[in-house]
A = this chain, B = another copy of it.
Amino acid sequence: MIEDKPREACGVFGIYGHEAAARLTYLGLYALQHRGDESAGIVTGDGKQLRAHKGLGVVSDVFTDEILSGLDGHLAVGHTRYSTTGASVLTNVQPFVANCKGGPLAIAHNGNLTNTSALRKRIEEEGALFQTTMDSEVIVHLAARSQADTTVERIVEALGQLRGAYCLAFATKDQVIGARDPYGFRPLCLGRLDDAWIIASESCALDIVGAEYVRDVEPGEVIVVDKNGMRSLNPFSAPRRAFCIFEYIYFSRPDSRIFGDYVDMTRRKLGKELAIEHPAEADIVIAVPDAANTAALGYSQWSQVPFEMGLIRNHYVGRTFIQPSQGIRDFKVKIKFNPVGGVLRDRSVVVVEDSIVRGTTLRQLSRMIRQAGAREVHVRVSCPPIRFPCFYGMDFQTMGEIIAAKQSVEAIRAHVGVDSLGYLSKEGMLSAMPNSAEDYCTACFDGEYPVEVEKEMAKLRLEG
């Protein structure tokens, strides 16, 4: 459920070598909106200059035909994000663009750096002006201050100073540069469309433009595309990999291929492991749509309990929905889901959910399912209890709001008000993954952070 779910900041997209660069980027961002749908921006380059348009809202609201027509150029980078609120919000819409020594430079960033404060303090002291509070601006400052000869070298020098998670797409007036941090926290893939090269957060953005998936951008790899074609640099290495396991559990689209494999396949295996660990004597299996659909199918197929669609999701949900006064119980959930009486009545129901953060929505949902006539409600969650904050880009609430940080499974079950509650074990989760267990970051479940975090950031999150 939306407000209970971790929200990652962003999707990034870059393309070099296509006349319709802006329009293809628009489509790529459209396909990446599940990663953040509150603001979007595109910057194009035509060999002489950069052109930018950014705005608040979903992609199709931010861009009009006229605006796209004005974004000339054969290269582009784009960004879509879950934006924070506040007066200065438009300033913080990406891509960030600045003029510097080598000419104008644009940057789109997905992930979260863990040493920004120190970097920012240092260069501010040296006389730098800051326009935003974004990590991206720090990266551009670092590149601008480098004394290296070329833009690529300056960017590599800047990246060398960063700690944390990043997938980046840079544009200069005649180059597109992609980069992924050495741990590989977030997904980034490389695609091909005729003579053009594309980088994108997920492969679903390649599909929509009809591009071919070539391979993932490797952890620590820097991709440079310009008139000389594509070349790959590998300036950075790391002691290990740290793929965000949450991308598989919830965040990425089921039709995407990330970290080398299909998301849909992995989710199905999560459902199977869940059925093995937590079987249920029930009449039907339903999912909390849409994210848990595949796991629920997996659960159903293994357990042989029939799969049904017991919840209808309303697709008109918008951000500005007006809440009526007290009168309506469980309103927030009703506005998103309606139970199907004919399916639920007098049934014992397994509800498969992908994850639980605060538990509030699930509590309302369970009550609604019961009121629709369900005899028993058994919740099955396709990952372990989330108990620690994420410092690498998942926007979990602070510790105070994460229900499993302080409560036992039994206490959560009682709070949510269901007949039984089963979480997939960490071992079960890892066994469903296509890569070896040590390649994943599972910090939100076990608190083992692969990359050190600045003290103040950690404090804020852990105590918050």
Output the nearest chain B residue to A334 by Cβ-Cβ distance: B208
Proximity bits, A60-86, B CB within 8 Å = 1, else 0: 110111001010000000000000000
A interface majority secondary structure: mixed
A118 lies within 8 A of chain B by Cβ: no
A351 lies within 8 A of chain B by Cβ: no
A335 lies within 8 A of chain B by Cβ: yes
| Contacting pair A60 B316 (CB below 8 A) | yes
| Contacting pair A316 B124 (CB below 8 A) | no
| Contacting pair B68 A87 (CB below 8 A) | no
Proximity bits, A311-340, B CB within 8 Å = 1, else 0: 010111010111011011100001100111
| Contacting pair A338 B129 (CB below 8 A) | no
| Contacting pair A31 B314 (CB below 8 A) | yes
Interface residues in A412-464 (C-beta closer than 8 Å to B): none
A92 lies within 8 A of chain B by Cβ: no
Given A141-B129, A255-B341, A264-B340, do A294 and B309 touch, yes or no (CB 8 Å)?
A: yes
Q: Shortest CB–CB separation between residue A117 and chain B, in angstroms? A: 13
| Contacting pair A204 B144 (CB below 8 A) | no
Interface residues in A182-209 (C-beta closer than 8 Å to B): 204, 207-209
| Contacting pair B255 A37 (CB below 8 A) | no
A253 lies within 8 A of chain B by Cβ: yes
B contact residues around A24 at 8 Å (CB) = 324, 327
Output the nearest chain B residue to A18 by Cβ-Cβ distance: B327
A131 lies within 8 A of chain B by Cβ: yes
Contact of A318 among B60, B130, B293, B312 (CB under 8 A): B60
Q: Shortest CB–CB separation between residue A32 and chain B, in angstroms? A: 10
A149 lies within 8 A of chain B by Cβ: no
A321 to B314, CA, bound (A): 20
| Contacting pair A70 B98 (CB below 8 A) | no
Q: Which of A160-168, A224-232, A300-308, A385-393 contacts B (4 or more CB under 8 A)?
A: A300-308
| Contacting pair A210 B327 (CB below 8 A) | yes
Given A51-B87, A208-B335, do A254 and B312 touch, yes or no (CB 8 Å)?
A: yes
A377 lies within 8 A of chain B by Cβ: no
B contact residues around A343 at 8 Å (CB) = 264
Q: Which of A125, A334, A339 has the most CB of B within 10 A?
A: A334
| Contacting pair A131 B98 (CB below 8 A) | yes
A312 to B294, CA, bound (A): 11
B contact residues around A309 at 8 Å (CB) = 254, 264, 293-294, 297
| Contacting pair B128 A338 (CB below 8 A) | no
Interface residues in A353-394 (C-beta closer than 8 Å to B): none
B contact residues around A265 at 8 Å (CB) = 342
A243 lies within 8 A of chain B by Cβ: no
B contact residues around A321 at 8 Å (CB) = 30, 60
Identify the 4 closest CB pairs spanning chains A and B, nearest first: A127-B145, A98-B129, A262-B342, A23-B324
